[in-house]
Amino acid sequence: MPESEVSQAVFSDLTSYDKWLEEEGLPVIRGFHITDLKDVAVAPWRRKGGAGTYVNLDGTGGTNDAYVVEIPPGGNLKPEKYLFEEVIFVLSGRGATTIWNEGGKKQNFEWQAGSLFSPPLNAWRQHFNGQGDQPARLLAVTTAPLVINLFHNRELIFHNPMVLKDRYAGEPDYFSSSGKAHPGRVWESNFIPDVASFKLQDMLRRGAGGTSINFELANNTMCAHISEFPVGTYKKAHRHAAGAHIVLISGEGYSILWKDGQTKTRVDWHTGSLFVPPDMWFHQHFNVGREPARYLAVRWGSQKFRVSGVLSMAGVEDSVKAGGNQIEYEDEDPEIRRIFEAELAKRGAESKMAPFFSKQR
Ligand SMILES: [Fe+2]
């Protein structure tokens, strides 16, 4: 074979993950955000069963991805296991999942809209719809892009007999919703029954009387958190690594995202919206609705299993003036506040920010 043909055959602009994605034969949603995950179109999924779509938003920087899968009424997905992590959030419906290690005992747990859980790495999993009259829809955030690109070996990733007991050793209470509290608003558990009603803790440094909780799930390197902020308020802008998938659980508002010194992008959101702030872009969340705004973020940055400074959340609560990655209210562009107040005025509502501004000085 002439040398030029050899080069053409071996090299490609596509990553191993890109090629895998093409073979999956599913729609892929790209871009900046999704208005409502409950409405996105899904197509039959040969490998998994059910129907789905991949979600590869720009803000992931190719470090992680997401998919939506729908289980038909009364139906189930195929059993499968793989060597990338996934954190699953139930968008709608209710059902059950069976988990087992290769050769090990099976265990089941039930979920409903609002539940969050993570099948352990390389454990078998199978999902069942518990209702006969409507589909169940799941959102999963995964580390597939990094894992598939690093190893570029499907046999290793999808047919690996290794049982990873440090992740899951068949503990009977693994998905019982029990857990362990750690300092720093951390709840370590493998099943959160309902992120909409989960009790949060004060997180004053991010501004606006906000509350939050951090989740460590299934001994993953990925993690998650919930954040909530009151009616008529907005959080401080901050920036961090790529790949934080932000799903709106309740409320109505918008977020502004920008790379330092560049034009700002606005995303309007409500329950069911998804967006991913790009790597080290500032982003700031504004509640202009009539109820507290609560979101779930599934992201890099486990505090138990750290990966790399490139994927960390360092300095997210510290002022940029002190070398951190947060813009205090007193340092922000005055346009931020003006636009927020104008948005509230359009809805006949008022800003509740005065106490938080005055605390700054
Ligand atoms: Fe953030």
**269 and 340 assigned to the same domain:** yes
199 and 117 assigned to the same domain: no
Looking at 158, 188, 210, which one is the last position of a domain? Answer: 158
**Could you give the C-alpha distances from 145 to 46, 55, 228, 243, in angstroms and in order?**
20, 12, 30, 11
Average pLDDT over residues 325-344: 96
What span, in angstroms and rounded, lies between the C-alpha atoms of 115 and 101?
Answer: 22
* Residues 127-151 pLDDT 10s: 999 999 999 999 999 999 999 999 9
Distance 206 CA to ligand 1 centre (A): 10
pLDDT at 8 over 60: no
* Ligand 1 centroid – CA 242 distance (Å): 9
Are 190 and 307 within one domain?
yes
Do 184 and 154 share a structural domain? no
**316 alpha carbon – ligand 1 mean position (Å):** 8
Gap from CA of 239 to ligand 1 centroid (Å): 6
Tokens of 101: 């290690």
Going from the Cα of 43 to the center of ligand 1, the distance in angstroms, rounded, reads 31
Distance 249 CA to ligand 1 centre (A): 16
Ligand 1 centre and the CA of 313: distance in Å? Answer: 8
Domain end marker among 158, 191, 208: 158
Q: What percent of the chain has pLDDT over 90?
A: 88
Q: Which of 127, 158, 189 is the last residue of a domain?
A: 158
CA nearest 54: which of 118, 144, 119? Answer: 144
Measure 358 CA to ligand 1 centroid, in angstroms. 24
> From ligand 1's centre to the CA of 277, what distance in Å?
7
User: Does 330 lie in the same domain as 207?
Assistant: yes
* 338 located within any domain: yes
Q: For residue 132, report the distance from its CA to the centre of ligand 1, in Å.
A: 38
Residues 18 and 151 in one domain: yes
How much is the average pLDDT of 238-266? 96
Distance 254 CA to ligand 1 centre (A): 14
Does 142 lie in the same domain as 67?
A: yes
Per-residue pLDDT tens for 50-89?
999 999 999 999 999 999 999 999 999 999 999 999 999 9
**What is the rounded CA–CA span in Å between residue 33 and residue 358?**
34
Instruction: Kindly tell me if the per-residue pLDDT of 257 is higher than 90.
Output: yes
In a domain, residue 56? The reply is yes
Q: Mark whether 21 and 98 lie in a shared domain.
A: yes
Half-sphere exposure of residue 327, counting CA atoms within 13 Å on the CB side? 20
Residue 174 lies in a domain: no
Among 110-114, 116-120, 175-179, which is the least confidently predicted range? 175-179
149 and 65 in a single domain? The answer is yes
Range of the domain at 71: 3-158
Q: How far is the CA of 207 from the centre of ligand 1 (A)?
A: 13
pLDDT score at 361? 42
In the predicted model, is pLDDT for residue 1 greater than 70? no
Closest CA relative to residue 102, chosen from 48, 158, 161, 157 = 161
Residue 303 falls within a domain, yes or no? Answer: yes
Average pLDDT over residues 223-246: 96
Q: How many domains does the chain have?
A: 2
Q: What is the CATH number of the domain that holds 193?
A: 2.60.120.10
Position 171 in a domain: no
Confidence of residue 311 (pLDDT cuts 50, 70, 90): confident
Per-residue model confidence (pLDDT) at position 9: 57
Residue 93 CA to ligand 1 center (angstroms) comes to 28
Q: Is 202 helix (H, G, I), strand (E, B) or coil?
A: strand
Claim to verify: residue 95 and residue 240 sit in the same structural domain? no
4 C-alpha vs ligand 1 centroid, how far in Å?
A: 46
Angle made by CA atoms 126, 305, 91, in degrees to the nearest 5: 40
Residues 149 and 281 grouped into a single domain = no
- 259 C-alpha to ligand 1 centroid (Å): 13
104 found inside a domain: yes
Average the pLDDT over 37-56 and give the result: 97
- d(CA 283, ligand 1 centre) in Å: 6
Strand partners, 211: 202, 228
Look at residue 164 and tell me if it is in a domain.
Answer: no
Closest C-alpha among 354, 356, 351, 357 to residue 287 = 351
Range list of H helices, the chain:
3-10, 16-24, 144-151, 154-158, 334-346, 354-358
pLDDT band at 310; cut points 50, 70, 90:
confident
Q: Is the dihedral of CA 88, 93, 94, 95 positive or negative?
A: negative
The CA distances from residue 222 to 87, 168, 237, 252, 294, in Å, are 8, 16, 23, 27, 20
CA 54 to centroid of ligand 1, rounded, Å: 23
Instruction: State how beta strands 28-29 and 51-55 pair.
Output: parallel
**Would you say residue 163 lies in a domain?**
no
- Whole-number Å distance, alpha carbon 297 to ligand 1 midpoint, is 8
Regarding whether 333 and 234 lie in a shared domain, the answer is: yes
